[in-house]
Amino acid sequence: MKVWNQRDNNESAQAYSAFRHYLELPFKQRSVDAAYRVYYEAKHGQSIGKRKKAPGTWTMWMGHHEWTDRAQAFDTMQQKKALIRTANRRQKDVEQFVEADMMLSLGFQRISSRKVAMMMKQDPVDVNASELRQIALAYDTARSWLTDLLGIFDDETNPLSNLAITDEALAQQLQEESL
pLDDT top residue among 83 and 169: 83
Whether 31 is in a domain gets the answer yes
Q: Are residues 113 and 48 in the same domain?
A: no
Q: DSSP secondary-structure letter at 54?
A: P
Q: Are residues 164 and 100 in the same domain?
A: yes
pLDDT value of residue 1: 56
Which residues, including other chains, have CB under 8 Å from residue 97's CB and lie 6 or more apart? none
For the stretch 28-41, pLDDT in tens is 999 999 999 999 98
CA 9 to chain centroid: 35
Residue 116's pLDDT band, with cuts at 50, 70 and 90, is confident
Q: Are residues 49 and 114 in the same domain?
A: no
pLDDT value of residue 113: 82
Closest CA to 119 of 103, 130, 108: 130
Q: In one letter, which amino acid is 90?
A: R
CA distance 53 to 174: 57
Q: Are residues 103 and 169 in the same domain?
A: yes
Closest CA to 39 of 15, 8, 71: 15
Residue 45's pLDDT band, with cuts at 50, 70 and 90, is confident
Provide the number of structural domains found in the chain. Answer: 2
Whether 39 is in a domain gets the answer yes
For the segment 12-29, the average pLDDT, to the nearest whole number, is: 93
Closest CA to 91 of 164, 99, 75: 99
Q: Are residues 97 and 49 in the same domain?
A: no
2 in helix, strand or coil? coil
pLDDT value of residue 129: 83
Residue 84's pLDDT band, with cuts at 50, 70 and 90, is confident
- Provide the domain limits for residue 50: 13-65
Closest CA to 32 of 8, 15, 46: 15
Closest CA to 63 of 28, 22, 34, 29: 22
What secondary structure, in 3-state letters, does 91-132 show? HHHHHHHHHHHHHHHHHHHHHHHHHHHHHHCCCHHHCCHHHH
For the stretch 121-165, pLDDT in tens is 888 778 788 888 888 888 788 778 777 777 655 555 444 444 445
Q: What is the CA radius of gyration of the chain?
A: 32
Q: Are residues 97 and 173 in the same domain?
A: yes
Average pLDDT, the chain: 81
Q: In angstroms, what CA-CA distances link 70 with 55, 61, 62?
A: 20, 12, 10
- For the chain, give the percent of residues with pLDDT over 70: 83
Q: Are residues 51 and 128 in the same domain?
A: no
Residue 178 has pLDDT above 70, yes or no: no
Residue 100's pLDDT band, with cuts at 50, 70 and 90, is confident
